[in-house]
Amino acid sequence: MKKIHEINNDPMRLLRILLILLSERSVTRASNRLGLSQPALSHNLNKLRALFGDTLLIRSSKGLIPTTRALELESELIRLVTDYDRLTQQAELFDPLVSSRTFVMTAPEFGERMLVPHLFKELRLKAPNVRVEVRAPIPDRVNEMLEKGELDLRIAWLVKPSGSLRSLHLYQDRMVCLACARHPELNGRISLEKFLRLPHARTIGTNHATTIRVIDEALAKIGLLLERSFLVQNFMTIPSTLVGTDIIATLPYLQAKAFANEFPLQLLELPLKLPRISYGAYWHERSHKDPGHQWFRKKVQEAAINFSQQSMHLESL
């Protein structure tokens, strides 16, 4: 989809601006996202107010507050702009060699670390002006962001994916336990009793939401609970946290293996049956037939294939 500031003569321009303002509820954030100065954005907001005969957005100490009329308009505008994009994008051509398009995706930290190096190397060769923004997942807003076109692709392990989204399988993995190579109680194996008793390092927030949930749900089914946890913000903190302590962590195998190659750590099979991890790419129907989006999805899939093949090769050495 074209950037708003690139389509000055587009009759949908004002409607797109209103949607961005309703989404951001901040003149500063909206102007940055649109590539417009704040005076220019205010000028367009005045046009919108005249068009709809309503104030639409009211300034407050916490940002912009939408009026009742603006909230009523929002869902209709989303449908209108989506339909317009669907009709016009069919005629658009996408040439990766000359395109300067930016694709926005979300991915958990370990998914980003595995996929992005392969993806970016390929893009630098085949699409030198294309850019990618990888953001932290926002599960509560992701479907809305995909629907509005704020987000192109979501990389995630979803045990129960939304039926309203298109998807593409990327790669599989499994959960393992990670511990210090000289752990005082562990040497290649871990019992369920020790798994429950030993302290765990886990991440706060949404980046490992599915990982944490499936572990807690599996334990809940047998009436058990993990209680002794050290919580960290970033999963990259975990390996150095385990070295020289009795703390353990549960991570996807491919990421745990990478950590074990860098730190004196040991991998142990879990004493708990968990579902296989299945990472996929998810997108909204609005983007399904967009030639640029189709090309980007293919590149993400190729990066996943390259990553999986490289991982299997390393395992065979």
Q: What is the pLDDT of residues 231-290, one digit of tens each?
A: 888 888 999 999 999 999 999 898 899 899 999 999 999 999 998 988 899 999 989 989
pLDDT band at residue 5 using 50, 70 and 90 as cut-offs: very low
* pLDDT for res 89: 63
* pLDDT for res 9: 44
Q: What is the pLDDT of residues 67-82, one digit of tens each?
A: 999 899 888 888 888 8
Instruction: Round to whole Å and give the CA distance between 179 and 200.
Output: 10
Q: What is the pLDDT of residues 133-155, one digit of tens each?
A: 999 888 888 888 998 889 999 99
pLDDT band at residue 229 using 50, 70 and 90 as cut-offs: confident
Mean confidence (pLDDT) of the chain: 86
Residue 60 has phi, psi (to 5 degrees) of: -145, 175
Statement: residue 1 has pLDDT above 60: no
The residue whose two tokens read 């309203």 is 164
172, two tokens: 């599989």
Q: What is the pLDDT of residues 289-312, one digit of tens each?
A: 899 999 999 999 999 998 877 666
Residue 17 has phi, psi (to 5 degrees) of: -60, -40
Centre a 10 Å sphere on the Cβ of residue 55 and count the other Cβ atoms it contains: 15
* pLDDT for res 31: 87
CA distances from 252 to 157, 170, 178, 257, 286 (A): 11, 15, 10, 9, 32
Statement: residue 60 has pLDDT above 50: yes
Q: Whole-structure pTM over 0.85, yes or no?
A: no
Residue 216's nearest CA partner among 272, 165, 164, 178 is 272
Tell me the mean pLDDT in the region 3-31: 75
Statement: residue 168 has pLDDT above 60: yes
pLDDT band at residue 7 using 50, 70 and 90 as cut-offs: very low
* pLDDT for res 205: 60
Phi-psi region of 212 (alpha: psi -120 to 50; beta: other; left: phi over 0): alpha
In SS3 terms, the chain reads as CCCHHHCCCCCCHHHHHHHHHHHHCCHHHHHHHHCCCHHHHHHHHHHHHHHHCCCCEEEECCEEEECHHHHHHHHHHHHHHHHHHHHHHCCCCCCCCCCCCEEEEECCHHHHHHHHHHHHHHHHHHCCCCEEEEECCCCCCHHHHHHHCCCCEEEEECCCCCCCEEEEEEEEECEEEEEECCCCCCCCCCCHHHHHHCCEEEECCCCCHHHHHHHHHHHHHCCCCCCCEEEECCHHHHHHHHCCCCCEEEEEHHHHHHHHHHCCEEEECCCCCCCCEEEEEEEEHHHCCCHHHHHHHHHHHHHHHHHHHHHHHHHHC
Phi-psi region of 149 (alpha: psi -120 to 50; beta: other; left: phi over 0): left
Q: What is the pLDDT of residues 72-123, one digit of tens each?
A: 988 888 888 888 877 776 556 789 999 999 999 999 888 888 889 999 999 9
**Domains of the chain, with CATH numbers?**
4-89 (1.10.10.10), 102-172+278-316 (3.40.190.10), 175-275 (3.40.190.10)
* pLDDT for res 248: 96
